[in-house]
Amino acid sequence: MDKSTIIRTIALAIAWINMLLSNYGLQPIPVVSEDIIAEILAGLATVWAWFKNNYVTLKGKRQKDLLLQNNLTK
Q: Determine the pLDDT at residue 26.
A: 80
Q: Determine the pLDDT at residue 69.
A: 92
Q: Determine the pLDDT at residue 70.
A: 92
Domain ranges of the chain: 3-69
DSSP string, 26-49: ----TT--SHHHHHHHHHHHHHHH
Q: Determine the pLDDT at residue 63.
A: 86
Q: Determine the pLDDT at residue 20.
A: 84
C-alpha neighbours within 13 Å on the C-beta side of residue 58: 0
* Segments of the chain scoring below 50 in pLDDT: none
Report the C-alpha dihedral over residues 47, 22, 9, 50, rounded to 10 degrees: -20
